[in-house]
């Protein structure tokens, strides 16, 4: 018998809800209120995505099944290899406000996370200007998530976190600057550590590129 755990995403960039069961339940409108930021202007190369991440490793848990239902209506999602929940943005669905159910790997504690990601896959080679152009878009998306006055308190995005699902360690080659180490499948590329002529060469294609904010 599977126990149910109900979790609602509130107005925060990252919402974590540790559970002991492997089923999550949401109202569509709560998810829509966050994902609608993808339709705003000012961050064409950046988007929000919904994942269920392993509480220990931070890597995406496998979604074994996910669907929406309300009364006699039922629709199952096709889950991509990335394990992102592909929730459609639809005003009619917001009005109907169905329940959204997600099953993850049994026995694994997963956290619900709304992540800011680069919307298009980066090639394994990109330059200083690519990183420089992404940072204000990430900043804008995070400010949109935080609300009207969030820009007063939001720390600056100063780089990107590159995530590899199939690579635990290694090196990212940087021309005109020091190489960057990959640890536990992640590497931080700080704009300040690059030269304007720098070219970044990844060992393999990144699975995610996320904002990096210095920890105070």
Q: Answer yes or no: is 4 within a domain.
A: no
Give the strands of the sheet with 99-104, arranged side by side. Answer: 5-6, 23-27, 99-104, 63-70, 73-76
Structural domain that includes position 47:
10-116
* 3 domain residue, yes or no: no
35 and 95 in a single domain? The answer is yes
**What is the C-alpha separation between 22 and 197, in angstroms, rounded?**
48
Number of folded domains that form the chain? 2
What global pTM score does this model have?
0.82
Summarize pLDDT for 162-196 with one digit per residue, the tens.
999 889 999 999 998 999 999 999 999 999 999 99
Same domain, 37 and 53: yes
Residues 78, 133, single domain; the answer is no
Residue 75 belongs to a domain: yes
pLDDT value at residue 19: 43
Query: Running DSSP on this structure, what letter comes out for residue 142?
Result: H
β-pair type (63-70, 46-54)? unpaired
1 domain-assigned? no
Per-residue pLDDT of the chain (216 residues; tens, 9 = 90+): 233 433 333 333 334 444 444 889 999 999 998 899 999 999 999 999 999 999 888 889 999 999 999 998 999 999 999 999 999 999 999 999 999 999 998 888 898 899 999 998 889 999 999 999 999 999 999 988 876 556 667 789 999 999 998 899 999 999 989 999 999 999 999 999 999 999 999 999 999 999 999 986
- Cα 41-47-52 angle, rounded to 5 deg: 150
């Amino acid at each position: 018998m599977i126990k149910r755990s109900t979790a609602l995403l509130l107005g925060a960039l990252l919402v974590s809800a540790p559970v002991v069961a492997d089923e999550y339940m949401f109202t569509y409108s709560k998810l829509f209120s966050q994902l609608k930021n993808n339709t705003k202007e000012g961050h064409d190369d950046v988007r929000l995505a919904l994942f269920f991440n392993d509480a220990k490793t931070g890597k995406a848990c496998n979604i074994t099944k996910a669907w929406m239902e309300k009364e006699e209506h039922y629709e199952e999602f096709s889950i991509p290899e990335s394990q992102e929940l592909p929730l459609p943005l639809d005003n009619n669905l917001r009005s109907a406000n169905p329940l959204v159910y997600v099953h993850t790997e049994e026995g694994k504690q997963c956290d619900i996370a709304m992540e800011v990601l680069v919307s298009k896959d980066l090639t394994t080679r990109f330059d200083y200007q690519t990183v420089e152009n992404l940072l204000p878009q990430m900043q804008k998306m995070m400010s949109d998530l935080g609300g009207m006055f969030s820009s007063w308190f939001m720390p600056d995005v100063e780089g990107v976190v590159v995530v590899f699902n199939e690579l635990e360690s290694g090196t990212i080659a940087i021309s005109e600057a020091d190489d960057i180490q990959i640890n536990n499948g992640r590497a931080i590329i700080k704009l300040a550590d690059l030269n304007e002529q720098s070219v970044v060469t990844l060992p393999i294609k990144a699975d995610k590129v996320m904002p990096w904010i210095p920890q105070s």
